[in-house]
């Protein structure tokens, strides 16, 4: 499988002022595989240590003498580490904070060694008084496979090329091909282990079982890592996300968790899920202007899961509802489609919010900020794209050109562009500065 983030890893390797690299990401999004694949294809050797399983880490990291550390890591990994030609990988680094601290000394005293580390729950650890080597490391974030990576995994390179080149004539000529593949992505999602088994021939029931196992693994983390009093709250928040998405709430409703539920009671649980990479948060903005983060309402937001396939598994949507017909697009009040669009936008690193007012019917599903402009986005699950709200918003903000994401083919209408759902990722990857 091809992960597009490998291009960023190659650029990191080339840097003259390269610092140790931290690869963030939720469990099972493919961090270990990607780093090992990168090491095997770009270096002469790879020295790998899993901090969750290595039993002599206290002896390895007894101090921060980098020369001694290199010898100790060489001995533990069984690899003769050489500067510039060996990639050192420290996996699950959050399990041993001293290894994280050591990155500072590698940056200062031994920059000739290439070190990349991964941490599934590092964001949580950093909130537990773990020292972070500020200014001494670089960071990258890995997410579930987006729709383009899914197409590449299926061998649909020609389709990806058309998307990248924004060849709308070709794309608009074969909509049924893209829609069929999008149905598959809605069902399978982008968790690499699930995609790999699907490509190998796993049927719908096997796919669902794999997804349920991932969900079970996440819930095991709920009970193992946070404080015990937070566990039931984390579970309540996690379980409520699909329901809240389907209800088209203008904001996350604490009363959906329990009668009389309040922000103060559940704020730690929400932050835990976000730090673990399992949940994305989109804040409401009260003004569509740069920088949109300045206009965020911190206490008003929506929550999304990390993967559309896991969303389907979480609520038990039958395979036939997703893989056959247009039910997945038309039912559930667009919850799947909004989840899909948001999860495609998040990896691009653009600030993302949404716009609504409690006393108004005007609501914009997403508002993103590129390097040069604000782009309002309306999400439609089908070819029915009638919406007074979107046109009203653009009429009041003529400086903006909107994007409507729907099942209709690409069309530039002047005041907005209609972008097919299956082209949303490619559109923004190639248009963020225009």
* Residue (of 1, 106, 79, 87) closest to 38 by Cα position: 87
Q: How do the pLDDT tens digits run along the chain, 434 residues long? A: 899 999 999 999 999 999 999 999 999 999 999 999 999 999 999 999 999 898 889 899 999 999 999 999 999 999 999 999 999 999 998 888 889 999 999 999 999 999 999 988 766 655 555 667 889 999 999 999 999 999 999 999 999 999 999 999 999 999 999 999 999 999 999 999 999 999 999 999 999 999 999 999 999 988 877 788 899 999 999 999 988 888 777 789 999 998 888 999 999 999 999 999 999 999 999 888 889 999 999 999 999 999 999 999 998 887 766 665 555 555 555 788 899 999 999 999 999 999 987 666 788 999 999 888 899 999 987 766 666 778 888 888 888 999 999 989 999 999 999 999 999 998 988 665 44
Q: Are 407 and 420 in contact (CB under 8 A)?
A: yes
Query: What CATH code is assigned to 6-141?
Result: 3.40.50.300
- Domain limits, the chain: 6-141, 149-429
Bond prior to 123 in cis (omega within 30° of 0): no
Q: What is the rounded CA–CA span in Å between residue 119 and residue 22?
A: 8
Q: What's the whole-model pTM score?
A: 0.92
End-to-end, the C-alpha distance of the chain in Å comes to 30
Query: What pLDDT is attached to residue 318?
Result: 75
What letter would DSSP give residue 326? T
Query: What pLDDT is attached to residue 391?
Result: 87
CA max distance for the chain? 67
| In 331-426, beta strands by DSSP E | 352-356, 363-369, 374-379, 402-406, 411-412, 416-420
What does each C-alpha distance from 260 to 83, 254, 263, 264, 271 come to in angstroms? 59, 8, 10, 11, 20
Q: Are 365 and 301 in contact (CB under 8 A)?
A: no
> 273-294 as b/e, with b when 16 or more CB fall inside 10 Å?
bebbbbbbebbbbeebeeebee
Q: Are 91 and 54 in contact (CB under 8 A)?
A: no
Q: Are 419 and 432 in contact (CB under 8 A)?
A: no
What does each C-alpha distance from 108 to 18, 102, 135, 365 come to in angstroms? 11, 10, 11, 45
Q: Residue 401, exposed/middle/buried by CB under 10 A (0-12, 13-18, 19+)?
A: middle
């Amino acid at each position: 499988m091809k992960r597009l983030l490998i291009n960023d890893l190659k650029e990191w390797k080339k840097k003259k002022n390269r610092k140790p690299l931290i690869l963030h990401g939720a469990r099972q999004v493919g961090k270990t595989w990607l780093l090992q694949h990168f090491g095997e294809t770009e270096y002469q050797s790879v020295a790998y240590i899993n901090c969750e399983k290595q039993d002599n880490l206290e002896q390895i990291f007894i101090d921060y003498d980098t020369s001694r550390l290199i010898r100790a890591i060489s001995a533990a990994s069984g690899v003769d580490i050489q500067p510039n030609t060996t990639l050192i990988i420290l996996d699950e680094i959050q399990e041993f904070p001293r290894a994280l601290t050591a990155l500072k000394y590698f940056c200062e005293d031994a920059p000739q060694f290439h070190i990349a580390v991964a941490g599934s729950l590092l964001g949580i650890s950093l909130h537990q008084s773990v020292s972070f080597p500020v200014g001494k490391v670089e960071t990258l974030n890995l997410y579930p496979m987006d729709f383009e990576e899914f197409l590449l995994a299926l061998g649909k390179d020609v389709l990806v090329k058309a998307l990248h080149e924004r060849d709308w004539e070709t794309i608009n000529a074969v909509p049924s091909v893209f829609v069929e593949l999008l149905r598959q992505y809605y069902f399978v999602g982008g968790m690499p282990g699930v995609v790999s088994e699907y490509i190998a021939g796993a049927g719908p029931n096997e796919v669902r079982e794999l997804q349920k196992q991932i969900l079970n693994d996440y819930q095991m983390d709920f009970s193992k890592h946070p404080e015990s009093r937070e566990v039931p709250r984390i579970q309540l928040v996690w379980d409520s996300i699909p329901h809240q998405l389907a209800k088209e709430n203008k904001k996350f409703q604490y009363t959906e968790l329990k009668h009389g539920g309040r922000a103060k009671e559940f704020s730690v649980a929400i932050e835990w899920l976000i730090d673990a990479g399992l949940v994305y948060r989109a804040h409401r903005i009260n003004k569509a202007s740069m920088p949109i983060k300045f206009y965020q309402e911190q206490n008003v937001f929506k929550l999304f899961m990390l993967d559309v396939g896991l969303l389907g598994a979480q609520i038990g949507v039958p395979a036939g509802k997703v893989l056959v017909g247009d039910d997945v697009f038309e039912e559930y009040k667009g919850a799947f489609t909004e989840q899909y669009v948001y999860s495609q936008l998040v990896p691009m690193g653009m600030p993302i919010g949404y716009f609504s007012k409690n006393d108004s019917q005007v609501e914009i599903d997403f508002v993103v900020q590129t390097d040069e402009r604000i782009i309002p986005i309306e999400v439609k699950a089908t070819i029915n794209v009638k919406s007074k709200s979107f046109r009203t918003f653009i009429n009041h903000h003529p400086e903006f050109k909107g994007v409507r994401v729907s099942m209709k083919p690409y069309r530039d209408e002047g005041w907005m562009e209609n972008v097919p759902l299956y082209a949303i990722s490619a559109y923004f990857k190639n248009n963020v500065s225009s």
